[in-house]
Structure 1
Amino acid sequence: MEKLEMNCRFCKNSLKYVFVNLGETPLANSYLTKETMNEVEKKIPLQAFVCEKCFLVQVEEFEKAKNIFNDYAYFSSYSTSWLDHVKLFADEMIDRFNLSDKDQIIEIASNDGYLLKNFKNKHIPILGIEPASNVAKIAENNGIPTVVKFFSFETAQEIVDAGKKAHLLLAFNVLPHVPNLNDFVLGMKKIIHENGVIVIQFSAYLLDVIQKCEFDMVYHEHFSYFSLFTLKKIFESNNLEIFDVKEIPVHGGSLRLFLKSTQNNEIKIEDSVKNLLKKEENFGLRKISTYLQFQKNVEKSKKSIQEFFIKAKEAEKKIVCYGAAAKGNTVLNFCEITKNDIDYIVDISPHKQGKFLPGTHIPIYFPEKIKETRPDYIVILAWNLKDEIIEQTSFIKEWGGKFVVLIPKVKILK
């Protein structure tokens, strides 16, 4: 394997092994406008490395997080299934931890306030921390108090100094986006009440990524990809302990972790932790050879995706895509699919409509356009929302249209 001048962002071990190399691509959420279409697009190497010591899979930080997340195109409120998911989660947390109006909830990367509003509706004090000013502004307008900052130990210190500590600290879909892991985790430890609980949930759980060949989960905004084994090491080195874990079937396979301070002896450790650690070990997540097989599987997947588009074009089929998601941009750019293969893409978010995908320059429209052009195939790029998308566009059956997913392998849905 090639030698690299890069150290693990957790344990600082020198990185020697490539987990996956997806070539050079633009930032996955850097959508283009008509005005910027003719400018030279910045393309950055997209490859992930694996640390042979702690098994953290990681992408090099070519682009600073502040440049990626300052004006972010992802608004959580545009997925109804996700909103249902977090409402159920909030109700569970209120019951499990007996939360009341005397408890403080703080959420890191609170986006447009979609999760915190469920606690606000139950009169529980809330505070959001969100680095993207455009998204934070929407939260503020909806009555969700939001600190517009990146979360760090320094940010945690400022909030504690202002008299706030979390009885429940939430971090949904943020941990993979953190370049400085140790500082971030130290900040979490700082901001919780001595008996406080942290709940972290994230997609691109490494076991799922490898098992299901979800290479589209790899993009520049995702700095790290975690197994429970690695996370246990990271948290314990910062005096935090995982006391429960759940595999959640959203976003293609997510992990939900429950943490407490190591000094808090009132909460017992559930069997779920040792059970999942054993499952990971049995699969081979503590062997470097498991990680080095991934690229071969990705190349097979790429070949099948390219063959689908070639055959569809030969048969003069009209193809459009649903979901201008980061994961879709990874697939299209890596598999060299262009606007010659795809007529257009649709997305329910008005923040993406009228723009163009990075790299491929495929135009993005409102979903209603599908009724106008009556395509033969709708390729669902946001496959984590597959059921929701199929329900919203079931009308394609009127003209014999079919849905297609590309990951883990090309499948035309009946």
Structure 2
Amino acid sequence: MLRGEGPSCRLCGARDLESVVDLGASPPCESFLTGVQLDAPELTHPLHLRVCPNCFLVQLPPLIDPAETFTEYAYFSSFSHSWLKHAEAFVGTAVDRLGLTDSSFVVEVASNDGYLLRNVVDRGLRCLGIEPSVNVGAAAREKGVPTLTAFLDAETGAAVRREHGPADLVVANNVYAHIPDVLGFTRGLRELVADDGWLSIEVQHLLSLIELTQYDTIYHEHFQYYTVATAQRALATAGLAVVDVEKLPTHGGSIRLWARPEAVAGGPSERMRAVLAEEEAAGLHELRGYRDFAGRVEQVRLALLEFLIQAKRRGQRVVGYGAPGKGNTLLNHCGIRPDLLPYTVDRNPYKHGRYTPGTRIPISEPERIARDRPDYVLVLPWNLRAELTEQLRYVAEWGGRLVFPIPELEIVTPEEKVN
């Protein structure tokens, strides 16, 4: 690990952050290109992950402006069936756990296309989504989900509280990593939540990222990566205390943090103490847990490139499935272009006819795979393995196989049972 004159820690202000892995430079992962953009220059930014030796927040420099990425956004949560089920189950659990009634108020930050709050609406609870992306926020309103188009900060949180009242539950799923101003965003969360209310945050667990070499989830939209310990430190800056933690399978391994204002929080749960102990045992509360990560990333890269090159030499065709942000980190870091992966497909019509950033691989509709009958399908959203293996079961009809690149290269037939 190298120590350099990079940026200071955005949580504690310490300098001399230490390198975890340097993935070179790539464009923002959701900046899909249109055909007319292919002959234009493409801006890239360094993708160098570092860890703070003082508070151990793992982070990227804030090289992109969230307003440029999230004003019009290519990701719509409702295109994943498993994610919709996950959101529905969470709402049911939260209503029961917190005793929410028709007089309760629920706010979701980064509410996307209403994938979660539509379940709250269906239960007759008052709710509001706060979503910065104009296009996906409009989709939420079409589903009957009240949605404010805004980025959350302390001022926005206070304005929502004045107009709508404090929230009994604030939900922030897969957004806490996307905020360069983590201190201002956290103050916004505190403004929203009632003094006796609850905050639920879902975020990818850094423990899973490190242990399973999930380095493709490192991209410019993710400004920081959390352990329970670093999330505790971040939330404490606005008077919020984590009291419980659930481990989730989503995104390759996530955590759901339950937090409350410090005055009503109480002590941590047993399972929270257990997760903190796992992190400590893995060395993530000090520097030693990050020291061999870059070497393992290189092994993932070499294995995937060796497979694609050998398939090309044998005259076998490999195409992609999915065009997620994580896939673009993988493609750019490996230098995979249309000569090795002639196209990928995606269920989101927004991406059809566009090209992946940096690598400029065409994106088509999913039906193209059945027409072309390739030898292999490289699954880029590997975190949806069970769902996509079922969707791609038809590939076995012509002897095709699925390729999962992470945590290590694995080639399977679609009918093989997925654990």
TM band (smaller chain): over 0.9
Q: Provide the rounded CA distance (Å) in 1 between the counterparts of 2:339 and 2:282.
A: 40
Per-residue CA deviation, residues 260-312 of structure 1 (Å, 9 max, x unaligned), is 011115x6531111111111101111221221221111111111111111111
Distance, in Å, in 2 between the alignment partners of 1:55 and 1:2 is: 14
Give the secondary-structure state (helix, strand or coil) at the position aligned to 1:245. Answer: strand
Distance 2:363 2:197 in 1: 44
What CA deviation, in whole Å up to 9, does each residue of 1:123-151 have, x standing for no partner? 00010000001111111111111110001
Does residue 347 of structure 2 align to residue 356 of structure 1?
no
CA shift at 1:16, angstroms? 3.0
- The residue aligned with 1:318 is 317
Structure 1 residue 174 displacement after superposition: 0.3
Corresponding residue for residue 301 of structure 2: 302
Are 1:283 and 2:282 counterparts?
A: yes
Deviation, 1:2, is 4.5
Contact 2:9–2:17 (8 Å) recurs in 1: no
> Does residue 347 in structure 1 map to residue 346 in structure 2?
yes
Q: Which residue of 2 aligns with 1:252?
A: 252
- In the other structure, the counterpart of 2:234 is 234
Report the counterpart of residue 161 of structure 1 in structure 2: 162
Structure 1 residue 5 displacement after superposition: 3.4
Deviation at 1:355, TM superposition (A): 0.7
Report deviation, 1:238: 2.1
- Aligned equivalent of 1:270: 269
The answer as to whether partners of 1:15 and 1:49 remain within 8 angstroms in 2 is no
Tell me, which stretches of 5 or more residues in structure 1 are unaligned?
Answer: none
The share of aligned pairs that are identical, in percent, is 37
Unaligned runs of 5+ in 2: 414-419
Pairing of 1:391-406 with structure 2 (within 5 A): 391-406=390-405
1:336 aligned partner, one-letter code: G
Say whether residues 1:222 and 2:222 are aligned partners: yes
In the alignment, the residues of structure 2 paired with residue 34 and residue 275 of structure 1 have an alpha-carbon distance, to the nearest angstrom, of: 51
| SS of aligned partner of 1:229 | helix
Structural mapping, 1:117-156, within 5 Å: 117-156=118-157
Deviates more, 1:230-239 or 1:403-412: 230-239
Which deviates more, 237-246 or 128-137? Answer: 237-246
Aligned residue type for 2:244: D
Tell me if the contact between 1:100 and 1:124 (Cα under 8 Å) persists in the aligned partners: yes
Q: Specify the alignment match of 1:412 in structure 2.
A: 411
Q: How big is the shift at 1:186?
A: 1.1
Q: Distance in 1 between matches of 2:296 and 2:5?
A: 23
What's the secondary structure of 1:143's corresponding residue? coil
Does residue 44 of structure 1 match 2:38? no
In the aligned structure 1, how far is the partner of 2:267 from the partner of 2:122? 30
- Does 2:196 correspond to 1:208? no
Q: Which amino acid aligns with 1:24?
A: A
1:15/1:50 contact within 8 Å kept: no
- Tell me, what secondary structure is at the counterpart of 2:303? helix
Which amino acid is 1:406 matched to? P
The aligned amino acid for 2:392 is: T
| 8 Å CA contact retained: 2:8, 2:14 | yes
Q: Check conservation: 1:106, 1:170, Cα contact below 8 A.
A: yes
Secondary structure at 1:177 match in 2? coil
Q: Offset at 1:44?
A: 0.9
Whole-angstrom distance in 2 between the partners of 1:178 and 1:71: 16
For the 8 Å contact 2:3–2:16, the answer to whether it is kept is no
- For 1:289, give the aligned amino acid: R
Matches within 5 A, 1:30-41: 30-41=31-42
How far, CA to CA, are the matches of 2:156 and 2:52 in structure 1? 29
How many pairs does the alignment contain? 412
**Aligned equivalents of 1:344, 1:384: Cα separation in 2:** 20
Task: Measure the CA separation in 1 of the matches of 2:289 and 2:116.
Answer: 36
Residue by residue, what CA displacement relative to the aligned partner does 1:22-52 show, whole Å, maximum 9, x if unpaired? 0110110000011111110111111111101
TM-score w.r.t. length of structure 2: 0.97
Q: Secondary structure at the match of 1:360?
A: coil
Q: Match for residue 416 of structure 2? A: none
In structure 1, give the amino acid aligned to 2:220: H
SS at match of 1:216: helix
Measure the CA separation in 1 of the matches of 2:96 and 2:12: 37
Partner of 1:371: 370
TM-score by length of 1: 0.98
In 2, the alpha carbon distance for the partners of 1:308 and 1:196 equals 51
Equivalent residue, structure 1, for 2:417: none
Q: Distance in 2 between matches of 1:15 and 1:79?
A: 40
